[in-house]
Chain A
Amino acid sequence: MDNLSVQRKGVSRREFLAASGALVISFGLPQAARAQQAAQGAAPWPAKVAPEWLDSWLAVMPDGRVVASVGKIEAGMGIGTAFAQIVADELDVPMSRVSIHMGDTATTVDQRGTGSSNGIMKGGAALRKAGAQARHALLAMASQKLGAPVDQLAVEDGVVSVRGDSSRSVSYGDLIGGKQFELNMDAKARAKDASQYKLVGKPVPRFDIPPKVAGRYTYLVDHKVPGMLHGRVIRPPEAGAQLQGVEPGQKLPGLVKVVTQGNFVGVVCEREEQAVQAARELKVNWSSPEPMFSKSYDDLYATLRSGKVKESKTKDKVGDVDAAIAGAAKVLEAEYDYPFQSHACMGPGCAVADVTSQRAEVWAGGQKPYPLRNAVAEMLQMKPEQVRVSWMPGPGSYGMNDADDAAMDAVLLSRAVGRPVRVQYMRHDGIAWDPKGPPISFRMRAALDDKGQVQAFEYEARGYSGRVRPSGTDNAGDTLSAQLIGGAKAASTEKDQFSDESYEFPNKRKISHLLEWRQSLPTGLRTAHLRDPDGMATCFASESFIDELAAQVGADPVAFRLQHLKDPRDKAVVEAVAKKAGWDPRPSPKRGQKGPEVTGRGIAYAPRNGSIVALVAEVKVNKETGKFRVTRFVVAHDCGFVVNPLNLAGTIEANLMMGMSRAMYEAVRFSPTKVESVDWISYPIVDITDAPDTVDIVMVDNRPEAKSLGAGEPTIRPVAAVIANALFDATGVRIRRVPFTPEALKQAFQQQAAST
C-alpha cells in the first residue's frame, strides 16, 4: 500500500516501480552514481532520489498512463488535482490518465514536503518542467518513428500524430511505456505558453472528493500491516513530571509490552481497544514537579511584556520614531494579545512503523516526510537509506502538528516489540500535547501632529518563537518523545514576529522581541508553526491599530489605508474588496444604532509571501449577550495566476472559517502545571451555526502571465483583524485580545456602558 492507491487511477506500486525513476536503485542512475551505490552495500532504499533525473519526476506506463512524482503532500486543499492539471496540460494527456505520487522518501524527490503554501510554487513548477521536457523527448521519439519533423506533429490525448495524416500516429505508451527516459532534467526545456493551457486555470473538480464521500479514500489511519500491533502513549500528568515507575505485574487484556524510556511511556497491545484501555488504566507513578506555566493569560501576557528578551530585531525603519513621538501633538498607544492556539486536528496524531534491526519503514501523516527520515535514522542509529518514510493522507495538519511525534512514537514502540505497531493518539493527546501556535503581546504606538496627520507608526511584538519546536523534524530531538526520553537536542530557532504591510509614514519602526521558551520542549505548550505562522497575530495587531488611527483622525478605514499604502498591488486588492463589498465610505464606528442588536463592517488586508488578501467582514452583534455573527465576508485575493479557481474558492472559504474559529473561540487553557484544554469542550472551535450567510470572492491579477503564488494560508491572516474592526464599527468598542468570546465581549461592552 502506498499513497498511489488513493489517487483516481489505481496505478499499482509494482507497475509504478517498474516504470518510474524509483528504479534508480537498480539501473536508472548514471554510471558514476551506480558504482557509488554498489560500494555502499545493499541499503534497502536509495539515499536520495535524484532531482536532476527526469525519471525521478515522471513515468509513462505501458498503457499510456502517466505517474508524476513530487516531494510535496496533499494537505487537503486539492493540490493533487492541481498537479494533475499541470502535468496533463504539459503532456497533452487527459487528466484521468494522470496519477500523482507524493511524499515517499524512497521514490520521490526530496522537496522537504509541504509548507509555507509553496506546493504550487515549488511542486507545480517542478512538475511543469518535467512534463515539458518529457513532451519534447516524446515528440523527438515520435518524429523518428513516424518519419516526420517535430513541427509537423500534434499531440492529443497522449497520441502523437502527423498533422493532416492521422493514420501516421503513435501513443506515448508505445513510445516509452514502462521504460525510462534516461535523461537529466534540462533547465532550458520550454514549457507551454499559458495561452495553450486547456486545464490549468479551469475549475476542475477534485479527484479525491468522490472516494472521500464514499468511504473509499484510504487515509493513514486505515493503513494496516500484517502482524501489526496497537500502541498508545501515556504522557506525564503534569508538565515536567518525572517517571518514577510503572507498578509491576499489572494484568491488562491483550497487553504485549509496557515501553518506558526516560519519561516516555507507551503501551503495546494486540487490539486497538485494548491499547486504549491499557493507556487509560495502567498505573504509572510520576513526580510532582514545580509549576512551569503562568497562572493565567493575564500573567502570561504580563510575562511577555516584562520578561527578559533573548533576541530583538528591527525592520522597516524610517526616520526617527522616538523624536516624532516626543514632539507629537497626540500619541496613540494600544496593546494587543494573541494566545497559544492548538492545531487541534480532526484526527489526533497517527502513524504506523515497522522497525527491524536492519531497516525501518514508517507511514506518517505530517507535511514533511523527508526530514523525518533523518530524525528516525538518528533515533535508530541507522543510515538514512535504511529508513523509508511514506506519507499517507492524514487529517488537515496546518503546520507542525503532532504527526511527526506520533511517527517517532510508533518507531519507538515497534523497535521495542519487534513487530509493526500502529499508534493513534487519543483526543487529549491531540489537543493537550500537540505543538502550539505561540502567544504574542504587542504594543503599538503612533504620533499625530496638530493637523491629525500620522507622523510616526511603531510596532513592537514580544513573543515566543514559533520554531521552538522546529518546522520540520530534521532531528530526533525535535520530537516530543525524544524530549521526554531526554538527552536529545531540538534544532530550535528564533523566528521574528513582524507584520507585513506597505504603509508609508514619515517615521516608522517595527521591532520583534523574542523570549526564551525552549524549556517548553517536553511540554504541551512548546511552540511551533500553525497555519500562517504568527500571521494572524501580527496582522491582528497591525491592522487593528491602523483602524484605530483611522478612527482617531475621523477617516474612512478604506480611504485611510489607500492614502498610506505604498505598494500598488496592495492598493489594488484593497480597492477590489471595497468595490465588491459595496463599501459605504464613512468613519467608524457606525453612528445612531439603538438597542442591543447592532451591525457593523470592517476591513483588513495583508500581504503574504507575494500573495495579497483584503477582507471585509459584516457583523451582527448583541451587546447584552456578547454574542456576534459574521453575516458576510468579502474577499479580494491576489495570488497571481489561479491554477484551479473552483478549488481555490473552497480553500479561501475554509481559511475564513478556520480564521473565525481562531479569532472567536481558540485559546489553549492551562494551569501552572499543565494544559487544561483536552477536548472539544475545553478547546471549542467554530460551529456550523457560525457560518456566514454569504461569502463573495474576487480574484485580482488572475492572468495566465502572472506567476502562481501561494494560496493555502494568505486568507486566514487578516481574519482576526477584520472581525475586530467590524466589531468596533458596530459597537465603538475596540477588542484587543483574541479570542473574542461572548464573556470577553460582554465585559468590554459593560465597561464601555459604565464609562459613558
Chain B
Amino acid sequence: MATPLEITVNGKRHPVQATPDTPLLYVLRNELNLQGPRFGCGLSQCGACTVHRDGVAIRSCVTPVSAVAQAEVTTLEGLADTYPASKGQAEHLHPVQQAFVDEQAAQCGYCINAWIMTAAALLREKPDATEEQIRQGLSGLKCRCGTHMSVLRAVRRAAKAMAAA
C-alpha cells in the first residue's frame, strides 16, 4: 500500500482519507472541517472555493488533493497568519479581511472567500495595484447579491493599509 497522502493546511500536516483524485475542496470541508472555502460551482467559474497554494490563489473545487501534497495550503481561516503584521493583534485579521469589515463588504457572504482570498493574493503580487488592475484581477469572481462596489472599496482600502504598514 502506498504511503498515505498528507497535506499541509494553515501550517499543520493532515493525513488525507480521500482518494488522491478527490477535489481538495471536499477534503478541506469534510475532513478538516474548514468553513472558509465553499462549493459554488465545482467548475472553477466562481471562486467561492479559492485557497492559496504557496501564496497563489487556486480553485480547490477542481484541484485534486494529491496536487497539493508538496505545497503549503492556506484557507480563509489561516490567511491572517500569513501576514506578519496582523499576528498578535486582538482582532487578528489580514488587512484585506479588516478592510471588508470596515467597508461592510458583504451581503449573504457566501462568496466572500473568493474576493478576500483572490484580493490577498493579488495585493501580495501587486501591492500598488491600480484600480484597473484590481478590477481585472478580481474579474470572473461571482457575487449574486451584488456587493461588487463595496468589494472594490475594501480592496482599495486594504491596498492603502498594506502600503502604509
Interface residues of A (CB under 8 A from B): 75-78, 205-206, 208-210, 212-219, 221-222, 224, 253, 271-273, 276, 344-348, 393-396, 398, 424, 426-427, 646-647, 650-651, 653-661, 679-681, 685-692, 695
Contacts and interface: CB of A to CB of B under 8 A. Distances in A.
16 contacts: A77-B107, A212-B109, A213-B112, A214-B77, A219-B35, A273-B18, A276-B42, A345-B110, A346-B110, A398-B144, A427-B43, A651-B107, A653-B147, A657-B149, A679-B45, A680-B45
Interface in B44-75: 45-46, 48, 75
B85 interface: no
B146 A654 contact: yes
B151 interface: yes
A385 B145 CA distance: 35
Given A216-B35, A347-B38, A395-B108, A653 B146 contact: yes
B48 A347 contact: yes
B144 A344 contact: yes
B43 to A, nearest CB: 6
B40 A347 contact: yes
Interface string B69-113: 000000111001000000000010100011011001111111111
Contacts of B139: 687-689
Nearest to B27: A273
A353 to B, nearest CB: 18
B41 A219 contact: no
Contacts, number: 178
Contact of B100 (A209, A653, A690): A209
Interface of B: 18-19, 22-23, 26, 29-30, 33-36, 38-43, 45-46, 48, 75-77, 80, 91, 93, 97-98, 100-101, 104-113, 116, 135-136, 138-152
Nearest to A343: B144
A46 B106 CA distance: 35
Given A347-B40, A658-B146, 14 more contacts: A205-B101, A213-B76, A215-B76, A215-B113, A222-B35, A271-B30, A273-B23, A427-B40, A654-B146, A655-B146, A657-B143, A680-B45, A688-B148, A689-B139
Contact of A345 (B43, B135, B144, B150): B144
A655 B145 CA distance: 7
A494 to B, nearest CB: 28
A363 to B, nearest CB: 15
A393 B106 CA distance: 14
Given A76-B107, A217-B35, A688 B138 contact: yes
Question: 4 tightest CB-CB pairs across the interface, nearest first?
Answer: A657-B146, A76-B108, A215-B36, A212-B109
Contact of A215 (B26, B34, B111, B135): B34
A680 B139 CA distance: 13
B108 A75 contact: yes
A661 B93 contact: no
B76 A346 contact: no
B43 A680 contact: yes
Nearest to A431: B41
Contacts of B141: 688
Contacts of B112: 212-213
Contacts of A345: 110, 144
A210 B103 CA distance: 11
Nearest to B31: A271
Q: Choose among B35, B141, B150 the residue with the greatest number of A CB atoms under 10 Å from its CB.
A: B35
Nearest to A654: B146
Nearest to B23: A273
B83 to A, nearest CB: 13
A691 B77 contact: no
A215 B33 CA distance: 11
A650 B30 CA distance: 33
B149 to A, nearest CB: 5
Which of A212, A654, A680 gathers the greatest number of chain B CB atoms within 10 Å? A212
B113 to A, nearest CB: 7
A657 B51 CA distance: 26
A651 to B, nearest CB: 7
B143 A205 contact: no
B150 A653 contact: yes
B45 A681 contact: yes
Nearest to B45: A680
Given A215-B35, A680-B45, A396 B93 contact: no
Nearest to B98: A213
A205 B109 CA distance: 15
A679 B140 CA distance: 13
Given A271-B18, A688-B135, A396 B140 contact: no
Contact of B145 (A76, A209, A348, A690): A76
**Among A395, A681, A695: residue with most chain B CB under 10 A:** A395
Contact of B97 (A213, A661, A692): A213
Given A219-B35, A680-B43, A688-B138, A213 B145 contact: no
B100 to A, nearest CB: 5
A221 B141 CA distance: 20
A426 B109 CA distance: 19
Contact of B152 (A206, A679, A680, A688): A688
A157 to B, nearest CB: 22
A346 B46 contact: yes
B122 to A, nearest CB: 12
Contact of A653 (B38, B76, B113, B149): B149
Contacts of A76: 106-110, 145
Contacts of A393: 108
A396 B108 contact: yes
Most chain A CB neighbours (cut-off 10 Å) among B22, B144, B149: B144
Contacts of A75: 108
A398 B108 CA distance: 11
A216 B140 CA distance: 25
Given A77-B107, A395-B108, A654 B30 contact: no
A427 B41 contact: yes
Contacts of B93: 210, 213-214
Contacts of B23: 273
Nearest to B91: A210
Which of B46, B77, B109, B146 counts the most chain A CB atoms within 10 A?
B146
B35 to A, nearest CB: 5
A74 to B, nearest CB: 8
Contact of A658 (B40, B98, B106, B145): B145
A581 B157 CA distance: 26
A534 B139 CA distance: 30
Contacts of A658: 144-146
Given A205-B101, A679-B45, A213 B149 contact: no
A272 B144 contact: no
Contact of B144 (A209, A216, A395): A395
